[in-house]
Amino acid sequence: MLDINLLRTDPEKVKENIRKKFQDQKLPMVDEVIQLDRDYRNAQQQADALRNQRKQKSKLIGGLMAKGQKEEAEKLKAEVAALADELEALEQKEEELKAEIRKRMLVIPNIIDDSVPIGRDDSENVEIQRFGEPVVPEYEIPYHVDIMERLSGIDLDAARQTSGNGFYYLMGDIARLHSAILSYARDFMIDRGFTYVIPPFMIHGDVVTGVMSFTEMENMMYKIEGEDLYLIGTSEHSMIGKFIDSILDEDSLPRTLTSYSPCFRKEVGAHGIEERGVYRIHQFEKQEMIVVCKPEDSMMWFDRLWQNTVDFFRTLDIPVRTLECCSGDLADLKVKSLDVEAWSPRQKKYFEVGSCSNLGDAQARRLQIRVKDRDGKKYFAHTLNNTCVAPPRMLIAFLENNLKADGTVAIPEALRMYMGGKDHIG
């Protein structure tokens, strides 16, 4: 959510940003907010004047009563009562205007960084880096579910019976590999100085609207019926929510956290749920990175975060590339974002395995996460998040890139201690 002072002082900058994101339908909202804000401040001024009048007249009533001038005092009481009614109407108007302003401010997109490439959708994202040589072996690479089934590692049919499409049973060495990747990611991030956290897997509605846009919420979040609780779509949601309504000492920043959680997603939209596969599903697990920092440090942390993911995949010898998300591919709260994609030998192309985002002060402004400097001045923190690893999606890249001609799957050195010393499965 933007600072309303920006709309007051430079509405054209906000409109130009909307155009860069190809959301012209939101342009009228800027002028609507400006007018609503004028009405709100006018109502505030009128209410303040009435409060002052009420205060002055209330003081006079006491003096008149002390002098025995009861009739004059009763007249003033009637005037004070009339002021109270008028003030109540103004206060109600203030609340209504405030709600209307917030409703629009929540959907006006954040100001993107000047370095973000302009484009309509993900087809116009820009590749900025590659690691590793993408290899297509001479032997066939089967579909990832076929690899897992040959290793007795997955049962989609049983999951479909118990839960429907978008769920799975992982078993045996595949299940162990899944856990090994998460354990290795946890230790990888701890070794980089991040504090390990296991957060709540459900959050209140005010946290949900604080960390994401309404459209994302509708398309992603599962709500617990009859309760103000939502299942998290990623641990970022509860990790950023951890700091709601807090004032952090500047000297305590940055807060660098790495969190494990299951993730639950409706996956409503064009992509839908796969009938057979584990790329787009309702339930998965993830190791995440979260940073809360000073505004001047957020771009430095942004570069560190996405590089952590690249380095993680490098240790497993999986070729990856990094894409800068263009303006039209950025969610409304994001200032800048990168996707990390892994190589698929079977598809002969890269596919997304992680996303790194700098949200500026958007989440902090919504959740009132503030920082107090040494002089006592308060300002909004910046928040960032990034995927370290998210199996089972990452399992697809792992299995395809480590499958041998004989059908076995090689285990890289970094994972063997988490796999009981095994150097392959099969």
Same domain, residue pair 56 and 142:
no
Q: Residue 167: which residues within 8 A CB-CB, separation 6 or more?
A: 159, 160, 281, 282, 283
Report pLDDT digits (tens) over 224-264: 999 999 999 999 999 999 999 999 999 999 999 999 999 99
pLDDT digits (tens, 9 = 90+) for 116-165: 999 999 999 999 999 999 999 999 999 999 999 999 999 999 999 999 99
- Coil, helix or strand for 50? helix
Same domain, residue pair 317 and 202:
yes
* pLDDT over threshold 70, residue 339: yes
Residue 111 lies in a domain: no
The pLDDT value recorded for residue 87 is: 86
pLDDT tens-digit series, residues 180-233: 999 999 999 999 999 999 999 999 999 999 999 877 888 889 999 999 999 999
CATH number at residue 67: 1.10.287.40
Q: How far apart are CA 272 and CA 166, in angstroms?
A: 9
Q: Are residues 213 and 357 in the same domain?
A: yes
HSE value, Cβ hemisphere, 13 Å, CA-based, for 368: 4
Picking from 181, 142, 178, the residue whose alpha carbon sits closest to that of residue 313 is 181
- 350 in the same domain as 378: yes
Q: What is the CATH number of the domain that holds 245?
A: 3.30.930.10
Contact residues for 52 (Cβ-Cβ < 8 A; gap 6+): none
- 375 in helix, strand or coil? coil
Contacts of 392 (CB under 8 A, 6+ apart): 168, 170, 178, 278, 281, 284
pTM above threshold 0.85: yes
Q: Using the 3D structure, point to which of 35, 70, 105 is the last residue of a domain.
A: 105
DSSP output for 217-245: HHHHPEEPTTSS-EE-SSHHHHHHHTTTT
Domain region containing 215: 122-425
